[in-house]
Structure 1
Amino acid sequence: MAWVFLCVFLFGICRGQSIQDIKNDAKTYFWGEGSGSSLKKADNEALDMLSSQIAVQVESRSELFDLDTGKEFKQQFKSIINTYSNATIKTTERIVIGNEPDVKVFRYIKRSETEKIFAERKEKIIEFSKNGTKAIDALQAADALKYYYWALLLLKSHPDGSAIKNDGGELLATWLPAQLNGIFSSVSVLLGDLKSEENYAAQILQISYKDKPVSNLDYSYWNGKDWSNIVSAKDGLGVVEFNEPHPVVKEVRLKIEYEFEGESAVDKELQDVMQKIDMV
């Protein structure tokens, strides 16, 4: 037992010195510490403190733009920063001191690691932008809108967002909205055949992009009472359904889908940002 006690005691001293060294080296590390009756509570407190340090750094260099969407700027800024804080959890080191119900946690991460997180998000923004261009070249309007919108969403969460450029040297802050608006303005819809049955009718839609049938496009339509569920047009053809056999259809109101919030669940980082930023 004396030997075990001696090891623990020496380890505690070494660990204490290491923590103090990290605290003193503010140019190299972000850190946070917390205490509580449970490990989870202490850990969350430490992560909150670490996140606050990251937020101060990002705010001092931030070029986050167009955040005034009905929320207070500070509130939304903090939410956006937390999307980075969540990402850092995977790369932070943790030291646990003591045991429940009196446990302390020390979390730390090198500043260079947070720069890697910013760089990874930038790479994802550019990748989504390229995916959008590939999609619209293939007349896949739904996919193009999705990737362009996702790229713009992540761009608005990046501290250097207003300075990021595509391979052509164009600022994505202006280029991405132009691509989205270009697709919306270049989609045309014509009324095709009306197929009727006893208590049902389907109005066929001919949907094109720059006078070519779209490979895909997702939309909902106004049924007179509410917006329908999402409908997917394929190979230039869509449909609007009616619960009556012979409706008089002169025009249809469509709302084109571009957020694809459900699909964002495949990317936790993207989903987190989508929940923090409001965009029209």
Structure 2
Amino acid sequence: MKKQIFIIILLIGILSLQAITVNQLKQMQNSGELIVGKGEAKTESEADKYALQDLASQIIVEVKSSFVSIAREENFKIDEYCESVVKTFTDIQLSNAKKFIDPASTKNNQIIYRYLTPEDKERIFAERKTQILSLVAEGEIAESSNNAVDAIRNYYWALMLLKTHPEHKTITYYFDHEERLLNTALVNQIEKILSKIKIEITSIKDVKDSNCLDILLFASYQGMPADGLLVKYNDGYQWSDFERWTNGKGYFSIKKVMAKTLSFIEMEIDCSFREHGFSGEIRETLGSMKAKKFNNSYKKCELQKEEVKNIESVESVISYEDEISREKIAVLNNIITAISKKDLGTSRKYFTARGFRDFNALIGYGNAEILPEKITLKMLKIGDLRVVRSIPLKFDFRSSNEDFTENVNFVFDQDNKIDGVTFSLSDLAIKDIMSKKYGTDEEKALIVNFIEQYKTAYCLKDIDFIEDVFCDDALIIVGRVIQRKPDDYSDRLYQQLGAGMIEYITLKKGEYIKRLQKQFSKKEFINIRFSDNTIDRVSSKGKKVFGMQIGQYYYSSDYRDKGYLFLMFDLENPDEPKIMVRSWQPEKAADGSIIGVSDFQFD
């Protein structure tokens, strides 16, 4: 009986909603019962877009007085500042706004109204506050792990979102056991981290017959490489574009004539990361709000104090750990020469067919060249394989105006042939994996190697590897809603998912591969960085099945985002690793959780 009454009430509500008139909307708007936006255009979709934009403007009008002081501080007129704030609202945030089509609409003039209650407005700002505090917490976690780059990124994004919140002057957060106002605390935290980032010149080389000096630099934070730092420099003529430094290593080139007149190399660290790994309202906010500058983001290195080494040609000075055999050293020396001379064919004999395919693809990834620096190569033993790590390469994607460095590893098989080439994880990421207590050192090495294979496959758009590495019945979760898959293995997993998981969608392996193929075809390059991770052993029966939660920063020539990746994988056969579960979520759940091992049960 109660169910029937509920349905009747619901139907009455729907009918009354449909029966609303334009005059009623205007009366409720004037009385403050509703906030209303109006849009007119030739098509319904375009009119709806304008209605949402107008609705966002009306929301900001209601809190306009809250932005007077910050507009003055940012040297904006209040209306200009509010217009910038309006642009930070996305359709997703306004998705709960009800829609009304004016009966007066014609074929060539659609009139759409979108409206919310004052309570809806408060909910929108409450959600933004939640996101601000979530970013601050992520920054705090990164800072406590000595991950300066991720800390700066999260604090900066939180600061920019804070500038769009009507309570920007009163929101607080506990830093170092003290409640502080966020609008000043975030600036102080970023300045503090920047002040501890040290950049030093490691070598200057004067190459014969070149009109430029090659300058190598190293950035550190608390004694660790500042991995992923974005830096630009002034060569005496102009500022360069920002380049990403992997493991804190940077490389500049300055004309010799200009170098004689420069006492310092001036540099700037980018704190916004507006082109590296974001989506949704963060993207809109960074694109609309005035960028914040930080005093400690500017760095100088004395140029004239450094010794300039005269050399015949640009070459790396490479040394090897004692455990690396003479045979491998000879092979690697020949390969390094082939890379330097851009004559890869001469090194084919040192590879298996698969290994050379990977090598050719990787070196062609972005006009690769070896950084001319001192390198000590190390070796990691993984079963019968030997992984020699890590040669620093600089990649240049001219069409996309992107430059970055990556360390590259060579995987030797039992016959001393190179069977694989991978991009290395950062020193910080490797240290994080190796320091956790979930398995033996050999198992940890297996995981490092596997994640590097995974990263490399996506960067090189290696669809064959990706197709092979996923189980045929893999559970692949993306988005917001989960649907059951008609196969035994993933059906068993699905039944173990909690009720809160209903907000994600599942793809079959074939669907996921087709989606990747379509995405890969549009991109000049893909690059992936990983941050803090958590690893658990899934099976207690001695099998090498692990679950890893890891922060992922993905950026490509046409798309960038950040989110949280969960992989459940089987390394029982290291030559044929298998992914059983892959999930990706753009943000943590409301309770701060990420999909992980605890969401599944196993026999």
After superposition, residues 179-190 of structure 1 pair within 5 angstroms as 179-190=189-200
Equivalent pair of 2:67/2:82 in contact (CA under 8 Å): no
**Aligned residue type for 1:225:** Y
Displacement, 1:194? Answer: 2.1
Give per-residue Cα distances to partners, 1:158-203, cap 9 Å, x unaligned: 1111111124432111110001111222222222222343325422
Among 192, 203, 206, the alignment partner of 2:202 is 192
The one of 258, 263, 267 aligned to 1:254:
267
In 1, the alpha carbon distance for the partners of 2:254 and 2:55 equals: 56
Q: Is contact 1:128–1:151 with CA below 8 Å preserved after alignment?
A: yes
Q: Return 5+ residue gaps in structure 1 as ranges.
A: 1-10
Counterpart AA for 1:163: T
Q: 1:242 pairs with 242, 245, 254, which one?
A: 254
Alignment of 1:91-106 (within 5 A): 91-96=96-101, 97=103, 98-106=105-113
Is the helix fraction higher in 1 or 2?
A: 1
Deviates more, 1:213-222 or 1:267-276: 213-222
**What are the equivalent positions in structure 2 for 1:52-131 lying under 5 Å apart?**
52-60=57-65, 62=66, 65-68=69-72, 69-84=74-89, 86-96=91-101, 97=103, 98-131=105-138
- Pairwise CA distance, 1:251: 2.9
1:134 counterpart (119, 128, 141): 141
- Give the whole-Å Cα distance in 1 for the aligned partners of 2:276 and 2:109: 42
Q: Which has the higher contact order (CA 8 A, sep 6+)?
A: 1
Q: CA deviation at 1:24?
A: 4.4
1:119 CA displacement: 1.5
Checking the alignment, whether the CA contact within 8 Å between 1:204 and 1:240 is kept in structure 2 is yes
Q: Residue 253 and residue 85 in structure 1: after superposition, are their counterparts in 2 closer, same or farther (change >3 A)?
A: closer
- Residue 244 of structure 1 and its aligned partner are, at CA, apart by 5.1
Q: Work out whether 1:220 is the aligned partner of 2:223.
A: no
Partner of 1:15: 18
Query: Does the Cα contact within 8 Å between 2:52 and 2:91 map onto a contact in 1?
Result: no
The answer for the alignment partner of 2:592 in structure 1 is none
Preserved CA contact (<8 Å) 2:67 2:78: no
Aligned to 1:148: 155
Q: Check whether the contact 1:140–1:216 (CA below 8 A) recurs between aligned residues.
A: no
Aligned pairs for 1:35-54 (under 5 A) are: 35=40, 37-40=42-45, 42-44=47-49, 46-54=51-59
Q: Percent same amino acid among aligned pairs?
A: 24
Offset of residue 226 of structure 1: 1.3
Question: Distance in 1 between the 2:199 and 2:162 partners?
Answer: 31
SS of corresponding position for 2:232: strand
CA distance change for structure 1 residues 83 and 214 in 2, over 3 Å: closer, same or farther? closer
Partner residue in 1 for 2:291? 279
State the Cα RMSD in Å.
3.3
3-state SS of 2:217 partner: strand
State the one-letter code of the partner of 1:50. Answer: L
Letter of the 2:242 partner, please give it: I
Q: Does 1:268 align with 2:275?
A: no
For 1:241 and 1:139, how far apart are their aligned partners in 2? 30
Taking the aligned partners of 2:39 and 2:227, their CA distance within structure 1 comes to 54
1:108 counterpart SS class: strand
1:7 corresponds to which residue?
A: none
| Alignment partner of 1:202 is 2:214 | yes
C-alpha contact 1:84 1:117 (8 A) present in aligned 2: no
Which residue, 147, 157, 168 being the options, matches 2:164? 157
Residues 211 and 14 (structure 1), Cα distance of their counterparts in 2 relative to 1, 3 Å cut: closer
C-alpha change, 1:33 and 1:242, in structure 2 (3 Å) is: closer
Deviation, structure 1 residue 234: 3.6
For the 8 Å contact 2:90–2:280, the answer to whether it is kept is no
Contact 1:58 1:159 in 2 (8 A): yes
How far residue 13 of structure 1 moved from its aligned partner, in angstroms, is 9.4
Deviation of 1:138 after TM superposition, in Å, equals: 3.1
Q: TM-score, normalised by structure 1?
A: 0.79
TM-superposition CA deviations, 1:220-275 (whole Å, max 9, x none)? 11111111222333434333223559x668532111111111125x3221121122
Q: Which runs of 4+ in 1 moved over 6 A?
A: 11-14
Corresponding residue pairs, total: 268
Q: Is the 8 A contact 2:68 2:78 kept in 1?
A: no
CA distance in 2, matches of 1:145, 1:138: 13
Deviation, 1:80, is: 0.6
Write 1 or 2 for the structure with the bigger share of strand. Answer: 2
- C-alpha distance after superposition, 1:97-141 (max 9, x if no partner): 344135332322232222222112111111221222222333332
Q: Give the match's secondary structure for 2:149.
A: helix
Q: For structure 2, which runs of at least 5 residues remain unmatched after alignment?
A: 1-13, 293-603
Counterpart Cα distance in 2 of 1:242 and 1:35: 55
The answer (yes or no) to whether the contact 1:42–1:103 under 8 Å persists in 2 is yes
Q: Given residue 18 of structure 2, which amino acid in structure 1 is its aligned partner?
A: R
Contact 2:90/2:281, CA 8 A, preserved across alignment: no
Distance verdict in 2 for CA 1:38–1:196, change over 3 Å: same
TM-score by length of 2: 0.40
- The change in CA–CA distance for 1:28 and 1:260 in structure 2 (over 3 A counts) is same
- Name the SS of the counterpart of 2:172 in structure 1: coil
